[in-house]
Amino acid sequence: MIESTEISGMLQPVAVFDIDRTLLTGISAEELLFKYFKKRGVLKYSQIISSLNMMIRHMHHGWEKSVYYKSYYLKGMSSDTLVSAMPDIMETVILPKLSVQLMSFLPYLREAGYKIYLVSGTLGPIVDALVKCLGADGGIGSKLEIDNDIYTGKILEPHPYHHGKVIALNQLLGESPIDWDASFAFGDSWADIPLLSCFGCPVAINPGFFMRIRAKKRGWIILNDSANRNKAVVNNILLEKLHLFTQGIK
């Protein structure tokens, strides 16, 4: 866990959310993005295959390096094409997939004085648009390399993936004095483990195999949509923890 450092007697609690299969139920933002552009004839399946080939070619550098080419399917697209389409992408494919359970928890976090941040390996324009739609306090996603307004398909450093999420979050927060012990982090996969390990209340959402093992071992909260379809059930689990934190904060 990152040590809480008090400045002028004030510490800020935060709630940090992954996006793919966390805020979005059972799917990633780039899957939705690709389907959106595929339906409109802008992208083809051959471009996804090209991304996979590039990732395989760089696998000898390790998985964390190969994922720098996961968005290679966007090579040749103008950045304006993506950015200008983002409002419609949000309205038609992203927002309808948001987790009802987590969305119902956001007002309680805001009322308790928490700042809300999104940290995800998905594309930066998606994160930026979602931050705006949710009224979050900030966010950071993958920054794509651009050459003369055209995407090259490569992701730039720092990539908010696995340990890179912790680096990205620290950049996002800057020198803000954070109450890590009273803060929440939400994620679903093994790549979120380093991020969740920094927080007083890590929450595994629909966790994958390795995340579930780690969450059980460390006693993290585990929430499953299949087991908690009623949003009130999920909120009761989180609200109890939030109540304990806010009592301490106040």
Query: Is 128 inside any structural domain?
Result: yes
CATH number at 179 reads 3.40.50.1000
Looking at residue 71, its pLDDT comes to 83
State the pLDDT at residue 68: 61
Is residue 45 one of the residues assigned to a domain? yes
Burial of residue 188 (CB within 10 Å: 0-12, 13-18, 19+) is buried
Residues 6+ apart with CB under 8 A from 80: 149
- Residue 227: which residues within 8 A CB-CB, separation 6 or more? none
Instruction: Please report whether residue 4 resides in a domain.
Output: no
Q: What domain count does the chain have? A: 1
The one-character DSSP state at 97 is G
Within a domain: residue 85?
A: yes
pLDDT score at 8: 36
pLDDT tens column, 221-244: 999 865 455 555 566 889 999 999
Cα three-residue angle 247-165-222, rounded to 5 degrees: 50
Domain presence at residue 132: yes
What single-letter amino acid sits at 234? V
- Would you give per-residue pLDDT tens digits along the chain (250 residues)? 444 444 334 799 999 999 999 999 999 999 999 999 999 999 888 887 777 676 677 666 655 666 666 788 898 999 999 999 999 999 999 999 999 889 999 999 999 999 999 999 999 999 999 999 999 999 999 999 999 999 998 888 888 999 999 999 999 999 889 999 999 999 999 999 999 999 999 999 999 999 999 999 999 999 986 545 555 556 688 999 999 988 865 4
Q: Which residues contact 182 (CB under 8 A, 6 or more apart)?
A: 11, 13, 200, 201, 245, 248, 249
Domain span including residue 22? 14-249
Q: Is residue 117 part of a domain?
A: yes
